[in-house]
Structure formats: C-alpha cells, structure tokens
Structure 1
Amino acid sequence: MTKREILLRLLSYMRRDRRQFVIATIFLLVAAVAEVTGPYLVQIFLDNYVAKDHYPAMIMWALAVGYIVSTIVSAGFQYQYELRFNTMAVAIIQRIRKAVFANVIKQPLSAFDYVPMGRIVSRLTNDTESLKELYVSVLSTFLRNIALIGVMLVAMLMLSVQLTMVVLVLLPCVVLVMARYQKRSAPAYRRARDRLADINGVMNESVLGMNLIQLMQQERAFSSRFSDMTADHLDAMVTIQRLNGIYLRPLIDLLAGAALLSLVAIFGFSGTAVIGVGVLYAFLSYLGRITEPLIEMMQQLSLLQQAISAGERLFEMMDTPPEQYGHDTTPIPDGAIALQNVSFSYDGETPVLSDVNVDVPAGGFLALVGHTGSGKSTLASLLMGFYRAGEGTLTLGGLPIESLSHQSLRDGVAMVQQDPHMLTGSLRENIALGQTLDDEKIWHALEQVALADYVKGLPAGLDTLLGEGGMTFSAGQRQLLALARVLVRQPKILILDEATANIDSGTEELVQQALNRLRQQMTVVVIAHRLSTIAEADNILVLHRGRVIEQGRHQSLLRQQGRYWQMYQLQQASAHLAALEEEAQV
C-alpha cells in the first residue's frame, strides 16, 4: 500500500462516527469565527472611534462586551470540539487495536515461527499509540488550524483585498516547505519506528531468557547487540531533529517576516488614507495567528509520518489471512485417527515427517517415542490442526481434518503440553479459560486427575491465585491442572506432549491412573520421554528422522531388540545408577 492509500484507509474509520464528526466541526467553526471576531472588533474601535477621537459610551460598552464574549465563546466551543473529536478518536483506536489483536490470535502458528514476540507486542502497543496521535493530535490540529486560517482569510478580504494578496503569497510557500519536509523526513521516521520495534523485541527476549543469558555468560554480547540497535535508533532520531530544526520554525518564520515587512511597507507608502491603523493592527494580529498554526501543522507532520508507518505495519497484521479451517461444523463423532502417507516440512525444503501411516481406533491409546528431532511434536501439531500436512491424508473420526471447522476441531481435539501456560488469575479462571462453567463440572475434572482433595484443602479453594506463570503450584500440579483444563471440554482425542517429562515418579503415577480412566471416554495420544508411561499403550510408534521405523506394543517391541529396546535399556540403566547413588548417600 502507498502512503496515500494508508492515510485514506485510516481516515475511513471516521465514517462510523460521522454524526459526531459533523457536530465537532460545527463547534470548531463557531470557535474559529469567535476567535477572529476579537481583532475585527479592535479594528472597528481604532479606525472608527480612536482615529476620529469619538467615544460613544453605548458603542464602547458594546465593543468591550463583544470582545469578552467572543473570547469566552471561542474557548468554550473549542473545548467542546476537542472533547467530541478526542472521544471519537479514542473509540477509533480501540476498534483498530481490537481488530488487530483479534486477527493476530487467529493466525496459524507458522506465522509466529520466525517473528519475535516482542515485535508483535510492540506493534500492538507502540504502533496503536502512534495512531492515536494521528487522530487526537494531527487531525484535530489540522482541522482546527485550517478552519481558523480560512475564517481569518475571509475576515482579511473584508478588510483589505490588497493586504490579503500579500498574505496569500505566504501559503503556497509554506505548502512547498511542508511537502519538502515530508519527503525528507519519511525515511528517517520509518527507520526510527523499525529500530524501536527491534529494541522492544530484544528487550522482551532478553528479559524472558535472563537466566539463560547469565548462565551462558552472554551479558556482554546481548548488551553490545542492544547498544547497536539503540545507536541506530539514535542516529535516525538525530536526523529527524536536524530536519525539524531546519524546516519547522526557521523557514516559516522567514516567510512570515517577509510578509510582515511587505505589510508595513504597503502601509508606509499608502498611509492611513488608504489603509487605517485598525486594519493594519488586525492584519498584523491575523498574520501572527496564521503563522503559529502553520508552524504547528508543520510540527504535526512528524506525528503524521509516524502514524503512517505505524498504520502500514498494523494493516499488514490486520490483513494477513487468518488460519483457514473447513466449513464442516459437524462434531467429531469419535476419536478414531487415521494417517495415510503423511509427509510434512516447515520450510518446504527440509522434510520433518515422511510417509507416516497409522490407524488408531476410537478409545485407543497411541504412543509416540523417539529421540529429539524425530518428529513427535510435529505429528501432534498436525493432529491439532496447527499445521497442514504437505502430502497424504489425515482423518479424525473418519472426517478429513481440512474439512473440519475451527469449532469442531477445538471441541474434538485437546492437548496438554510439556510446559503448560498458566494465567496469573485464580485456579477457577485457569481451568475455565473464559468459558462459563459451573463449579460441579470443574470439581469433576479435578477428581479425574486426582487433584480435587488438594484443592479442597486450600484456604481459598477454586479462588486460589496461582501467581505469575502458576509458580505457586509445583510442576506436577501444573501438569495435572492443565489436564483438568482440557477435560472440562470432554474432547474425543486427548494429546499429551511430553506431559510427564518434568514431574516426579509419584505425580507420574497419578497421570498414569488418570490416563487409564480417560481411555474409557476418549482416544489418548501420548508423546513420551519416559517409556514407563506408555507401557500399556495399544500401539507405540518409534520415530527416527521423521519416519516410523518400528511400531507395536511394549513387549513386542522389546522382543525385536531394535531402537525401542535400546531406549528402554538406556532408561533402565539410568534408573539403576540413580538407585545406586541414593543407596551410597544413605
């Protein structure tokens, strides 16, 4: 999109509040007329009464009262204009921010594979604030000043056409200066905004990964990287300030000074016989009031540049197509899973899964094992619909996954991840996640994961606050809580992605018991690090470099003495060594 198209699109958001805009404009025009009336009344006083040394009391009082009333009316209607216009502007920003956020959370996960989270947050916060300045400051200022200049020009024409022509020469020159300023400042503002987004992204990543940075002694490297970005941002800002120092006031003041000298020269040559002292006073007053709005509009161009750059990025996020789902709203009838010749690649070049075939009946227990990078989590993501298979077919409950609507897919398939995200709210809020659930349903889910007794023992029960990231609960409790979170939805397929990797053997036993109960209600897919968790699985897929190299039940795979048998022996040896170490410490 060009800058003109971006600006027109931003202005189009005002159509929804056109009635509010019309009322604000009427207030603005009344305020402008009232402001111009003051110097006009002074001109009448000087030329008609002071010059003739005639001061009728009634007229003097009328002029004084008129001057005071015009000042009060100007201030009052200006306030009403600002109030209504700014209210409309803030409402527009809220709509834009909600539209961008609504589209961001609907994006496929692939859209976030290579985009830093800090950059996205920066766009949702800093860029929307820049847009607010467009409506609150730029548009408001331009409309107010254009109305004021227009009314003053009309008043000038009524006073003296000859002097008005002198002032009108100033306006085209100012327009040329403004155009030149906009052309030269646009690249600098765009660079400044991009660097600011990068700075926020690095700050976000650094704070989240602070323990890793300090552990790997990379403080100096990250500080150097941050310093380079801030230096580039500073250079862009210095360029902007240099342009501001040249274009904003000096050139405008120079043009205004030339116009002022021309007015004085005309008055000197013509004398009071042609141009009265009051007219000269009014013109000098109007010239000063024209100059300041012109300078103010020039200053607002910097905010306009920022707003256009921000609008470009926000519209890019807003216009990115959301995750595409099918149109079949039929609920998944059962938990049957079928993959036929499924292959997948994240970048279209490096294969992650190759020719995967598996059939899981409804109520079955499928386990996925393999070393890091074998494709286990990728296969789970395909089952969740986070990514589309590059080749082959994948059906859930006999229905092609690409035909399922978003609602059907999310109601039918649920996942518990290795490190589940916890909100800072209450335990109830973490289970409901925005849904309207009665406490009975929540307690039933907690009982299914053997967490109900613990929660009942808490002083606040379901209203217990979990703290930042759920840190008041242990890793095992967070896993059980995440499991309860998905059980309230009663999905047909439950996926556990390394859900037992970070928990102790006691909690693992609780998860195992919960899985045995859940198998009566749904199909269970477990990505396992600990092979003891999947000993009862109906089918175990052993993945290596994206291919299924072995599959079968636990005992049959052990008898084959292949890769699964090797993994099992390594874990048994590790467990034996750990037991010996405990005995030695005792």
Structure 2
Amino acid sequence: MQFVITLVSLDGEMASVERLDEYGNLPAEGKFVKKEANLDPNWPRNNSGIEVKNLQFRYRPELDLVLKKLDFKLQPKEHIGIVGRTGAGKSSITVAMYRLAEPDKGSEIIVDGVNILDLGLHQARKAFTIIPQDPFLFSGTLRQCLCPYSQADAEGVKTEGLERIDDKRMWEALEQVQMKEYFLKQPGQLDSKIATNGDNLSAGQKQLVCVARALLRKASCVILDEATAQVDRENDQLIQQTIRNAFSEVTVLSIAHRLDTIIDFDRIIVMDKGNIAEFDTPANLVRKEGVFFELVNKTGAETSEKLKKAAFQAERQRQAGEKVNVDID
C-alpha cells in the first residue's frame, strides 16, 4: 500500500518538475521600456486615430498565420465593431495590438504617428485599455483595483508611469457605471475589500468595476473583447450604454458575438479566415448582402429584421446630426 502511495506521489512530483521546466524555458517578453524610442510624454493623445498596415500574426513561429496582411484605418473617436464566425481572427487582433505575442516583421500598428511595435511593451500598451470577457480584479481594496499606483504602492513596488488618481475621480467613474451608491453603502467605501478575482462581487458588478477602471485610465483606444458575454441582460444594457456615453471621445474596438451590441456603431470589420472580408457601416453591410448579411440572417427571422431596422435607423440619425439611439427590443 505504501508503495502505491509513493508511486502516486512521485508521479505528481514529476509533473511539477515538468511544469517548472516548461515555465523556466518560456520565451521572455520584449523590453518593458525602450528609452531609445524617445517617446513624447503626452503620447498618445486622446483624439488620435489608429492605422494598421500589413498586419500578419501567428501565435507561435511554427504555426500558420491567423491574421493575413490586414490593412485598416480607424478615425479618432470612431466606434468599430469586429465580428465573424468562430476562428475568423477577431480576438487575434486584440492579442496582436496588445502584443501578448509579437506580429510578424513588416507589420505596423500606428497610434498617433508612432508604430507601437517599435516601443517597449509598457509604452505600447499605454495606448490601449482592454475590458475582457472574463473580468479580473486583484485582491485588495477597491481603491487598489481602480488605481494602479495604489496597488503598486501597497505592494512596495516602485513603478514609473503610473498615475495617482484622487478619490473624486474614482467616485465620478463609479457614478458613471452606477456603482457609486453600492460602494457608498459598504463600510470601507473606496477601501472596501475585494476578494481574489472579485469573488465577493457578482459577474455584472465585476465588469462594471472594470469599466470604471477603464474610464480612469484615459487611454486613446478602448478594446472590448465580448465584454458583456458573462453578465445578465440588465447589466449588459447598462454596460453598453456606458460604453456609448463615457467613451464617446475615444476610439472603441468591440469584438462582438452578439450583433445587437455593435449594430449602431460607426463601422464594422467583418473577419473571415484571418482576412478582412468587409469593412463598412452597418447599413451598407446590410445592403451589400455579403458575409455580415449572412451573420444577421442567422440570428433568426425576428431578430434579423430588428437588426436591419436598427442599422438603418442609426444611419438616418447620423445623417440628421442626431445622437444615435436605437433599441432592438
């Protein structure tokens, strides 16, 4: 019996050794900061656009390309949806832009006149704020979750480039996502305890805190990776409305599975097998009766008609100079 127990224990220990070896041999990320880049301290400006040229990307050198020579340009303050079938390359655009893996040589991602692939990782990622599908919060206090300076200070880490955010701005951000009243009622208020990964908050509350954090970051581009996929309908509508109002002065890229979340956006990128199949306004994409039109029709007869109606309604409102406000319910 003891022999069997020893064998089981040995098997587990060998697996641990293999994991340590694997982690120890992971390729290192690039430089955190490249001082030779001589980057303007005010870069990027909030009203800057984004231009992607010849973007080619694969997850490992031996694998096939998942993004193939993408070229597109986003105007300042544009809200852009990214849609496509499973495996089309939607989320890979986010991975490439945030440089979680490096694009192929010859690729360019230009933000406010600077190719971010020539910068250090910290410098490049300064241009973007990402709100992921699965919200992540560090354990600690609400203040530390909202303000990276507070988090670093609490852990004794000296880090350059982190902005101290005052309480007034934090409360304003929480008010914009309708979480101010909730935390005012908590004993700690801004010092309320947040469990590991925010487990003492609901999925919707966690995502709303992440949106508040993005508001405070003041990046020139906000990237949403199916940000409302894990929340209920009520919080979904609240988050979508917050995105449209609070992020009206920045560029927004929203990777969407549900078409109703981006049907009123300025333009939509339709991905297909690593290529941009279509890129136009929602109304024009419906008129073309191409890939996007097929995706709309696959939502069912009733929903597809509502989506088409919403696309044309948003177009009319823009042409009339009105604030876009559509409802497909």
Same topology, TM > 0.5: yes
The one-letter code of the counterpart of 2:86 is T
Gaps of 5+ in 1: 1-225, 237-308, 577-586
Q: Which structure shows the higher helix fraction?
A: 1
Asked if 1:488 is matched to 2:216, the reply is: yes
Contact 1:371 1:544 in 2 (8 A): yes
Q: Contact 1:500–1:530 (CA<8 Å) still a contact in 2? A: no
Structure showing greater Rg: 1
Other-structure match for 1:329: 39
- Say yes or no: does 1:431 pair with 2:135: no
Q: Which has the higher contact order (CA 8 A, sep 6+)?
A: 2
Aligned to 1:566, which of 276, 289, 294? Answer: 294
1:356 aligns with 2:135: no
The answer to whether 1:403 aligns with 2:110 is no
The aligned residue for residue 236 of structure 2 is: 508
For 1:448 and 1:315, the matched residues in 2 are separated by 41
Amino acid in structure 2 at the alignment position of 1:421: F
**Are residues 1:370 and 2:88 paired?**
no
Q: Deviation of residue 499 (structure 1)?
A: 0.2
> Which residue of structure 1 aligns with residue 99 of structure 2?
385
Deviation by residue 1:269-315 (Cα, 9 ceiling, x = unmatched) = xxxxxxxxxxxxxxxxxxxxxxxxxxxxxxxxxxxxxxxx9xx9799
Normalised by the size of structure 1, how large is the TM-score? 0.43
| Matched AA of 1:362 | P
Quote the offset at 1:502 in angstroms.
1.5
Distance 1:228 1:566, change over 3 A: farther
1:167-186 alignment, distance < 5 Å: none
Matches of residues 65-84 of structure 1 in structure 2 within 5 Å?
Answer: none
By percentage of residues, which structure has more strand? 2
Is the Cα–Cα contact under 8 Å of residues 370 and 543 in structure 1 kept in the other structure? yes
Does residue 230 of the first structure (1) align with residue 9 of the second (2)? Answer: yes
Contact 1:366 1:538 in 2 (8 A): yes
Match of 2:316 in 1: none
**CA 1:387–1:231: 2 relative to 1, 3 Å:** closer
Paired AA for residue 504 in structure 1 = D
* Distance across 1 between alignment mates of 2:235 and 2:85: 23
Deviation at residue 540 of structure 1 after TM alignment: 0.5
Q: Does structure 1 conserve the Cα–Cα contact (< 8 Å) formed by 2:57 and 2:66?
A: yes
The aligned counterpart of 1:529 is 257
Q: CA deviation at 1:427?
A: 1.8
Q: Which amino acid aligns with 2:87?
A: G
Give the Cα separation in 2 of the matches to 1:233 and 1:515. Answer: 47
Distance (whole Å) between structure 2 residues aligned to residue 476 and residue 434 of structure 1: 25
| Structure 1 pair 465–575 and aligned structure 2 pair: CA distance change class (3 A) | farther
Check conservation: 1:368, 1:526, Cα contact below 8 A: yes
Structure 2 spans left out of the alignment, 5+ residues? 151-163, 305-329
> Measured at CA, do residues 453 and 335 of structure 1 come closer, stay the same or move farther in structure 2, by a change above 3 Å?
farther
What amino acid is the match of 2:102?
Answer: R
Question: Counterpart in 2 of 1:107?
Answer: none
Which secondary structure state, in structure 1, belongs to the residue aligned with residue 268 of structure 2? strand
Deviation at 1:542, TM superposition (A): 0.8
Kindly indicate whether the alpha-carbon contact (under 8 Å) linking 1:539 and 1:551 is maintained by their aligned counterparts in 2. yes
Q: Secondary structure at the match of 2:123?
A: helix
> Cα–Cα, structure 1 residues 394 and 458, in superposed 2: closer, same or farther, change >3 Å?
same
User: Partner of 1:351: helix, strand, or coil?
Assistant: coil
1:482 CA displacement: 0.7
Displacement of 1:342 in angstroms is 1.2
**CA RMSD between the two structures:** 3.0
In structure 1, the residue matched to 2:321 is none
Mapped partners of 1:424, 1:394: distance in 2: 34
User: Residue 344 and residue 314 in structure 1: after superposition, are their counterparts in 2 closer, same or farther (change >3 A)?
Assistant: closer
Paired residue for 1:550? 278
Give, as a single letter, the amino acid of the residue that structure 2 aligns with 1:404.
L
Alignment partner of 1:469 is 2:197 = yes
- Inter-partner Cα distance in structure 2 for 1:447 and 1:356: 38
Question: Alpha carbons of 1:562 and 1:314: their partners in 2 closer, same or farther (altered >3 Å)?
Answer: closer
- What one-letter code is carried by the residue in structure 1 that aligns with 2:52? L
